[in-house]
Amino acid sequence: MVRIGKPSQRRTAQAARLLLAGLTTTVGLVLTACGGGSDSASASTSSSSSTACSTGNRSGLVAMGLYGDVGTASVTSGGAQISTNFGTSTTRTLIADSAAPGVCADASGGATMRTAFVPGGATGMTHASIGAIDQPVFLLSGSTLATSMGSLAGTFNLLRYQKETPNSGGSAATRSSYATMVIDNSGNWYFCKNTNTCSSGSPTGSGTINVRTGSPDRFDLVANSIIRGTVFLADTGGARVLVVGEDDQGDPNGRVRGLWIGAPQAAWAANDGSYTLNTTDFGKDSLRIAGTVITANSTITAAANSPLQGLLTATPSGGNNNYILQAAGGLMVTANNAGNNFGTGPGYFSFGVKP
């Protein structure tokens, strides 16, 4: 096991990415990862441009940290500054990333992760220092959030990243997994890990979703009378994205925190273009996808509707399976499922957008 955020994990994750992609640069099939701006598939992690970024002003953003923290964010000066607040407010200056149109880099040049939004700004990504760890942050437009229990109903594909801190002390460990999650009209939920279908008779986990008092667009994920996380659903004209910030203190072995991102389960449909994604080894990855053909610094053909209906499976030669979720509107999430338990981690996760 390795501790999150320490150099040892970054070396381990990067080695996994090299194994999976068969490359000598930090690219992201890691598939173990991904990314890119509009027509660029460059994996550059620095910007040679000093042009101010111009994503437009955005207020009322919900910010979701990699380890389940929920905060707020706003973009000002036409896109040249972003502020995040996870108990402490931080403002950073953004410049255009010359390698990826529509993507913003930090003006300081010191951060490798990026800031970007899908067209219209319903979802996006940035990064923030939370608990002294600079980590990927998922962004949701507050104006798109569901405010009724019935709006959450459906069957969703989930990709999940989780970190467990043992109650007995010792190193934290991470894992990634895919799951099918079902929410009914009454707010009952259940999910099944690593399977394409899920019934209420034999789920991996189950419970209820309750509207949080005083917050009509935030919902509590409850199991065995314990709140396990915060649920949001963004809906822009039928393009639905389910996000859970997990903070589960009911596990007997340790505190489990993480980020779940999901989309309605349906047959896979191509959403071609270039994507930029922030990753759990605190970098930026870029890739281009055309149908099931994925290009970063190498090219691989993925299998559609595998392992879940609506996901892609990418299996580099000699590597482990990596799973890709493409949601309507230009969102992409990837996870490496090798081992799928805390003992054989670290897990790998990335998310980002097609600007």
DSSP 42-68: ----S----PBP-S--EEEEEEEETTS
Answer yes or no: are the C-beta atoms of 61 and 142 closer than 8 Å: yes
The rounded mean pLDDT for the chain is: 84
Poorest-confidence range of 33-37, 117-121, 207-211?
33-37
Comparison of pLDDT for 251 and 34, the residue scoring more: 251
Task: Specify the pLDDT at position 24.
Answer: 26
**Residues in the chain, total:** 355
Provide the 10 A C-beta neighbour count for residue 223. 16
Answer yes or no: are the C-beta atoms of 199 and 208 closer than 8 Å: no
> Is a pLDDT exceeding 80 seen at residue 132?
yes
**pTM exceeds 0.75 for this model:** yes
Q: What is the pLDDT of residues 248-259, one digit of tens each?
A: 988 888 899 999
Q: How confident is the model at residue 8 (pLDDT cuts 50, 70, 90)?
A: very low
Task: Specify the pLDDT at position 45.
Answer: 36
Q: What is the pLDDT of residues 262-300, one digit of tens each?
A: 999 999 999 999 999 999 999 999 999 999 999 987 899
> Is a pLDDT exceeding 80 seen at residue 17?
no
Average pLDDT for 308-327:
88
Between the alpha carbon of residue 181 and those of residues 113, 129, 193, 212, the distances in Å are: 30, 30, 9, 20
Q: pLDDT above 70 covers what percent of the chain? A: 86
Residue identified by tokens 């999150």 is: 4
Average pLDDT for 212-228:
93
Task: Specify the pLDDT at position 306.
Answer: 94
Between the alpha carbon of residue 248 and those of residues 148, 204, 303, the distances in Å are: 24, 15, 33
Task: Specify the pLDDT at position 35.
Answer: 31
Q: How confident is the model at residue 319 (pLDDT cuts 50, 70, 90)?
A: confident
> Is a pLDDT exceeding 60 seen at residue 333?
yes
> Is a pLDDT exceeding 60 seen at residue 18?
no
Q: How far apart are CA 72 and CA 64, in angstroms?
A: 8
Q: What is the pLDDT of residues 70-121, one digit of tens each?
A: 999 999 999 999 999 999 999 999 999 988 999 999 999 889 999 999 999 9
Q: Which residues pair with 96 in a beta bridge?
A: 104
Task: Specify the pLDDT at position 85.
Answer: 98
Break the chain down into helix, strand, coil percent, rounded to 5.
Answer: 10, 50, 45
Average pLDDT for 288-317:
91
